[in-house]
């Protein structure tokens, strides 16, 4: 019983970390942010949001640049 | 103020003893085989002490990080690029952004001087210079809403220093891309296995891009898993291709690879980000973190023995075949990433400060990530030092020095005091299923041999060739991504510069401008790549010192900005924290450029080299290693370009430092004249621990914060 709880917690932790590190959680975060700060703003669909994100990178390639 | 308890005194004494034991064994053993375990002990012991004491001292006494002050992530939170990010996630982000091919290549080349000089510089350099630079830049950029290094240089030093910083950043980008591409060419030339698996990364990335754009937007973790699985399949398939009738199609000469790489760089950088760049980036980040973790595990499990000398004769004589010049200053510019890397200041300003939750976390993110990168450099040094030194020199000397047959190479290596039989050289190539390992300069193949040695100790020798190509693929993957991303950043800088003169260029999405500037950037790094491949004296031998000088130049800019800011923000008595690393970095870089320009040794000094070859041309003679009059002219042209470039870089360093010094002196004399563009204080409303493991007080604070703010039913 105890170990299964620990295991489930570990899996949840890993899943959370992977989603955060890969920025897969970016959409959820943005929606949460929008709901909290601009209650009546239109929430974009995930597809629209992801497009907006790559367009931003397109405009300024220094976003997310990596080092040698 | 908390007094130290007995337990922590005991723990830190033990850590100090482990580090000291590592250093003693490394320092005292001569002529006997030393286990890599001692190198790791010295590194980890020193890192722990430095993080616990020096970094903490800088954070609290010098920078006076303020946990109650809201960071840009909190104040300007827009849910996209400004948002408070969990410190453990940000550590991963920042580390993945700063660590790339750099810490893997430099230490391998520097191993020609023996493992000891590299080890000392990597560890001492990171503790006192590299990690300090990263943390201090991160701190000051956080106080300035995540301003970039260039902006900070312009605002805090002046337009002159700012312009020099801008030109330096552009020059460095070009040289960096040229040298990285050269590393790839040397690893993939005449290797159908490697070339096929790297070529396959392009369709894999396109597929991933399509998946993310059309099929399932934003599902990055699952698409990365699919990508990695396909990548491993491509790696296995590479062997089948190499053994099939297709092998000829993928066996490419260096000059053919140059054309392909430049074409790839150009096309990739004008395609939309979602098609190639973004998916490649996910793939290489996944592979990077995975492989580095595997390598750390492999080194710790296998604990291989170092076969390289602690200090070789090349260190004092300065006539090494990998790169010319003596230990001082050339070890310190050859190893940049892992010890002190100017490039990191571009990540520590700009991206990371917009995501940091608390000022108190700059120690963990800035200093901590750099210590992690330094440990990657130590692993690369281990990998280069455990292979037979004879093989190491045969792999890293240009073909002008060792010839093109195993017999010649064996003789040349014997002449340097190391022994490897022609049969052993041939066998080493056969073990990794390559046609030859002679003159595979650039560091990547050597690292791959070392990595395959370590991994096959754990998994058995039958997988040796697989691990070799795995390591090549891993490096080539993120170098190709860097070519794409770097060309875009270079283009952006060029558009910015040209926009001041020709208006339409200012609009970064103006298509003709975009294509012209991309082509210009590709042509520039393509030129260095072409020169490197056709250089009779060896491309890496000639170009790597310039790359090192330019990277350390950027570090000088970053450290000059930091020192100026310390002085201007009333921390004059602590200015030595970045002032001493700046003085050291300037000494090293200026000495290296001075020698590269003025040395009377034709192996080191570019202009001496030029005149020796020019005199021979005038006399109608062909000097080895040149084989024809054409080669002779190539050497003369290249030496002139390289010499002028070294001189220009040195002048830029002097300009930036002199301008920074002027601002500092003016501030000390008349403080009223200087302005500090720091964002005003806003009180923070969030709580977050400073370090990886929360202290008892931080847990308590967090618990109280949750109770205080949670709305009922929330």
Q: What is the pLDDT of residues B427-457, one digit of tens each?
A: 999 999 999 999 999 999 999 999 999 999 9
pLDDT(B712) > 70? no
A28 touches chain B (CB under 8 A): no
Residue B305 belongs to what H/E stretch?
A: strand B305-306
Chain A interface disruption, residue of B82, B89, B271, most A CBs within 10 A:
B89
Instruction: With beta carbons less than 8 A apart as the criterion, state whether B541 and B638 touch.
Output: no
Q: pTM of the predicted model, to two decimals?
A: 0.95
Residues of chain B positioned with their CB less than 8 A from the CB of A19: 221
Q: What pLDDT does B1 receive?
A: 53
Q: Measured between alpha carbons, how far is B278 from B492 in angstroms, rounded to an integer? A: 17
B482 touches chain A (CB under 8 A): yes
CA distance A10 to chain B (A): 15
Q: Measured between alpha carbons, how far is B495 from B504 in angstroms, rounded to an integer? A: 9
8 Å CB contact of A26 and B96? no
Q: What pLDDT does B676 receive?
A: 84
Which of A23, A29, A66 shows the shortest C-beta gap to B79? A29
8 Å CB contact of A30 and B79? yes
B226 touches chain A (CB under 8 A): no
Residues of chain A positioned with their CB less than 8 A from the CB of B491: 61
Compute the average pLDDT of residues B106-133: 97
B309: DSSP letter: -
pLDDT band at B711 (very low <50, low <70, confident <90, very high): very low
8 Å CB contact of B85 and A53? no
> Domain segments of chain A: what residues?
2-59
Instruction: With beta carbons less than 8 A apart as the criterion, state whether B577 and B566 touch.
Output: yes
The residues facing B35 across adjacent strands are: B305
pLDDT digits (tens, 9 = 90+) for B1-31: 567 789 999 999 999 999 999 999 998 987 7
Q: What is the sign, positive or negative, of the torsion defined by CA atoms of B469, B229, B474, B47?
A: negative
Q: What pLDDT does B708 receive?
A: 54
A9 touches chain B (CB under 8 A): no
Q: What pLDDT does B710 receive?
A: 44
8 Å CB contact of A24 and B98? no
**Count of domains observed in chain B:** 1
* DSSP per position, B96-162: HHH-SSHHHHHHHHHGGG-HHHHHHHHHHHIIIIIHHHHHHHHHHHHTTTT--HHHHHHHHT-HHHH
Which of B163-172, B211-220, B316-325, B618-627 is least confident? B163-172
Task: Enter the tokens of residue B152.
Answer: 């900070």
8 Å CB contact of B489 and A65? yes
The residues facing B34 across adjacent strands are: B306
CA distance A4 to chain B (A): 24
Q: Measured between alpha carbons, how far is B240 from B246 in angstroms, rounded to an integer? A: 9
* DSSP per position, B251-285: ---HHHHHHHHHHHHHHHHHS-TTTTHHHHHHHHH
Compute the average pLDDT of residues B159-181: 89
B88 touches chain A (CB under 8 A): yes
Question: Is omega for the bond preceding B597 within 30 degrees of 0, making it cis?
Answer: no
Q: Measured between alpha carbons, how far is B156 from B660 in angstroms, rounded to an integer? A: 9
pLDDT(B713) > 70? no
8 Å CB contact of B344 and A29? no
CA distance B650 to chain A (A): 22
8 Å CB contact of B344 and A61? no
- CA nearest B84 in A: which residue? A29
CA-based radius of gyration for chain A: 17
Chain B interface disruption, residue of A47, A50, A62, A68, most B CBs within 10 A:
A68
Q: Which residue did the predictor score with more confidence, B4 or B341?
A: B341
Instruction: With beta carbons less than 8 A apart as the criterion, state whether B691 and B363 touch.
Output: yes
* B694 found inside a domain: no
Range of the domain at B116: 6-190+252-673
pLDDT digits (tens, 9 = 90+) for B237-282: 999 999 999 999 999 999 999 999 999 999 999 999 999 999 999 9
* B238 found inside a domain: no
CA distance A3 to chain B (A): 23
* B509 found inside a domain: yes
Instruction: Enumerate residues 186 to 205 of chain B having a beta carbon within 8 A of any beta carbon in chain A.
Output: none
B180 touches chain A (CB under 8 A): yes
B494 touches chain A (CB under 8 A): no
Residues of chain A positioned with their CB less than 8 A from the CB of B221: 18-19, 22, 24
Q: What pLDDT does B188 receive?
A: 96
8 Å CB contact of A21 and B89? yes
8 Å CB contact of B99 and A67? yes
Which of A59, A61, A67 shows the shortest C-beta gap to B347? A67
Question: Is omega for the bond preceding B193 within 30 degrees of 0, making it cis?
Answer: no
Which of A46, A55, A68 shows the shortest C-beta gap to B180? A68
8 Å CB contact of A54 and B274? yes
Residues of chain A positioned with their CB less than 8 A from the CB of B100: 66-68
8 Å CB contact of B213 and A50? yes
CA distance B266 to chain A (A): 15
A56 touches chain B (CB under 8 A): yes
* DSSP per position, B561-624: HHHHHHHHTT-GGGTHHHHHHHHHHHHHHHHHHHHHHH-SSTTT-HHHHHHHHHHHHHTT---T
pLDDT digits (tens, 9 = 90+) for B67-93: 999 999 999 999 888 999 999 999 999
Instruction: With beta carbons less than 8 A apart as the criterion, state whether B121 and B332 touch.
Output: yes
B101 touches chain A (CB under 8 A): yes
pLDDT digits (tens, 9 = 90+) for B381-422: 999 999 999 999 999 999 999 999 999 999 999 999 999 999
Residues of chain B positioned with their CB less than 8 A from the CB of A46: 217-218
Chain A interface disruption, residue of B183, B273, B489, most A CBs within 10 A:
B273
The residues facing B50 across adjacent strands are: none
ipTM of the complex: 0.95
pLDDT digits (tens, 9 = 90+) for A4-58: 999 999 999 999 999 999 999 999 999 999 998 888 888 999 999 999 989 888 8
* Nearest CA-CA partner of B389 in B332, B295, B322: B322
pLDDT digits (tens, 9 = 90+) for B243-252: 999 999 999 9
Residue indicated by tokens 């074409």: B263
Instruction: With beta carbons less than 8 A apart as the criterion, state whether B141 and B147 touch.
Output: yes
CATH number of the domain enclosing B281: 1.20.1740.10
**Taking all residues of chain B, what is their mean pLDDT, rounded to a whole number?**
93
Spatial neighbors of B395 by CB under 8 A, at least 6 apart, are B437, B438, B439, B440, B441, B445, B446, B449
B271 touches chain A (CB under 8 A): no
pLDDT digits (tens, 9 = 90+) for B211-224: 999 999 999 999 99
B158 touches chain A (CB under 8 A): no
Give chain A's count of helices (H) and strands (E).
3, 0
Helical spans, DSSP H, in B273-324: 277-302, 314-317
pLDDT digits (tens, 9 = 90+) for B459-469: 988 999 999 99
Q: Measured between alpha carbons, how far is B594 from A36 in angstroms, rounded to an integer? A: 59
Q: Measured between alpha carbons, how far is B556 from B326 in angstroms, rounded to an integer? A: 22
- CA nearest B179 in A: which residue? A68
Which of B78, B92, B97 shows the shortest C-beta gap to A66? B97
A60 touches chain B (CB under 8 A): yes
Compute the average pLDDT of residues B182-189: 95
Chain B interface disruption, residue of A14, A17, A67, most B CBs within 10 A:
A67
Residue B521 belongs to what H/E stretch?
A: helix B511-534
Q: What pLDDT does B675 receive?
A: 82
Residues of chain B positioned with their CB less than 8 A from the CB of A17: 88-89, 92
pLDDT digits (tens, 9 = 90+) for B510-568: 899 999 999 999 999 999 999 999 999 999 999 999 999 998 999 999 999 999 999 99
8 Å CB contact of A66 and B274? no
């Amino acid at each position: 019983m105890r170990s299964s709880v620990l295991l489930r917690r570990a899996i949840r932790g890993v899943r959370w970390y992977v989603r955060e590190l890969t920025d897969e959680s970016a959409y959820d975060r943005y929606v949460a942010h929008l709901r909290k700060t601009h209650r009546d703003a239109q929430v974009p669909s995930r597809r629209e949001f992801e497009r907006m994100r790559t367009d931003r990178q397109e405009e300024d390639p220094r976003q997310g640049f990596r080092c040698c | 103020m908390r007094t130290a308890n007995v337990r922590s005194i005991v723990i830190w004494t033990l850590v100090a003893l482990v580090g000291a034991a590592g250093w003693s064994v490394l320092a005292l053993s001569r002529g006997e085989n030393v286990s890599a375990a001692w190198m790791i002990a010295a590194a980890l012991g020193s890192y722990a002490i430095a993080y616990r004491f020096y970094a903490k001292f800088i954070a609290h006494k010098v920078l006076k990080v303020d946990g109650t002050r809201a960071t840009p992530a909190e104040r300007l939170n827009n849910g996209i690029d400004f948002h408070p990010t969990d410190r453990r996630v940000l550590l991963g982000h920042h580390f993945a952004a700063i660590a790339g091919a750099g810490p893997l290549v430099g230490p391998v080349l520097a191993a020609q001087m023996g493992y000891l000089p590299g080890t000392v510089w990597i560890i001492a350099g990171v503790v006192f210079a590299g990690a300090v630079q990263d943390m201090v830049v991160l701190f000051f950029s956080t106080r300035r809403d995540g301003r970039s290094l260039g902006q900070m240089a312009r605002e805090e030093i002046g337009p002159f220093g700012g312009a020099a910083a801008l030109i330096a950043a552009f020059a460095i980008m070009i040289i960096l891309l040229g040298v990285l591409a050269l590393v790839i060419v040397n690893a993939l030339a005449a290797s159908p296995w490697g070339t096929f698996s790297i070529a396959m990364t392009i369709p894999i990335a396109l597929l991933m891009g399509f998946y993310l754009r059309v099929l399932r937007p934003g599902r990055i973790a699952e698409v990365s898993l699919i990508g990695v699985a396909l990548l491993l399949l491509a790696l296995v398939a590479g062997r089948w291709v190499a053994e099939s009738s297709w092998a000829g199609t993928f066996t490419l000469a260096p000059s053919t690879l140059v054309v392909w790489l430049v074409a790839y760089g150009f096309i990739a950088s004008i395609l939309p980000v979602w098609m190639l760049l973004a998916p490649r980036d996910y793939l290489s980040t996944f592979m990077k973190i995975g492989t580095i973790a595997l390598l750390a595990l492999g080194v710790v499990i296998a604990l291989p023995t170092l076969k390289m000398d602690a200090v070789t004769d090349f260190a004092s004589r300065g006539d090494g075949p990998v790169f010319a010049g003596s230990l001082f200053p050339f070890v310190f510019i050859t190893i940049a990433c892992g010890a002190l890397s100017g490039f990191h200041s571009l990540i520590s300003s700009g991206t990371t400060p917009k995501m940091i939750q608390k000022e108190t976390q700059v120690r963990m993110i800035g200093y901590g990530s750099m210590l992690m990168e330094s440990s990657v450099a130590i692993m690369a040094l281990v990998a280069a030092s455990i292979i037979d030194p004879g093989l190491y020199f045969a792999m890293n000397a240009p073909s002008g020095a060792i010839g093109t047959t195993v017999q010649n190479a064996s003789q040349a290596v014997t002449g340097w005091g190391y022994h490897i039989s022609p049969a052993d050289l041939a066998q080493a190539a056969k073990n990794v299923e390559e046609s030859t390992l002679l003159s595979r300069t650039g560091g990547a193949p050597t690292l791959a041999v070392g990595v395959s040695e370590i991994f096959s100790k754990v998994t058995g020798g039958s997988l040796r060739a697989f691990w070799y190509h795995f390591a090549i693929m891993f490096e080539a993957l993120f170098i190709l991504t860097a070519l794409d991303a770097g060309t875009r950043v270079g283009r952006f800088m060029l558009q910015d510069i040209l926009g001041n003169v020709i208006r339409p260029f200012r609009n970064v999405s103006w298509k003709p401008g975009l294509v012209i500037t991309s082509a210009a950037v590709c042509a520039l790094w393509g030129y260095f790549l072409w020169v490197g491949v056709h250089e009779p004296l060896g491309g890496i031998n000639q170009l790597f010192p310039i790359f090192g000088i330019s990277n350390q130049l950027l570090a000088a800019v970053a450290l000059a900005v930091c020192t100026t800011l310390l002085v201007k923000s009333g921390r004059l008595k602590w200015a030595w924290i970045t002032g001493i690393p700046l003085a050291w970095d300037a000494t090293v870089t200026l000495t290296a450029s001075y020698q590269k320009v003025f040395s009377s040794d034709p192996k080191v000094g570019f202009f001496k080299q030029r005149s020796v070859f020019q005199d021979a041309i005038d006399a109608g003679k062909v000097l080895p290693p040149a084989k024809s009059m054409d080669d002779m002219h190539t050497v003369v042209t290249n030496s002139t370009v390289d010499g002028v470039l070294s001189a220009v870089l040195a002048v830029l360093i002097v300009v930036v430092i002199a301008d920074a010094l002027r601002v500092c002196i003016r501030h000390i004399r008349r403080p009223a004249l200087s302005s500090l563009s720091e964002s005003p204080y806003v009180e923070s409303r969030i709580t977050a621990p400073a370090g990886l493991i929360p202290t008892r007080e931080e847990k308590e604070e967090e618990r109280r914060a949750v109770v205080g703010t949670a709305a009922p039913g929330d």
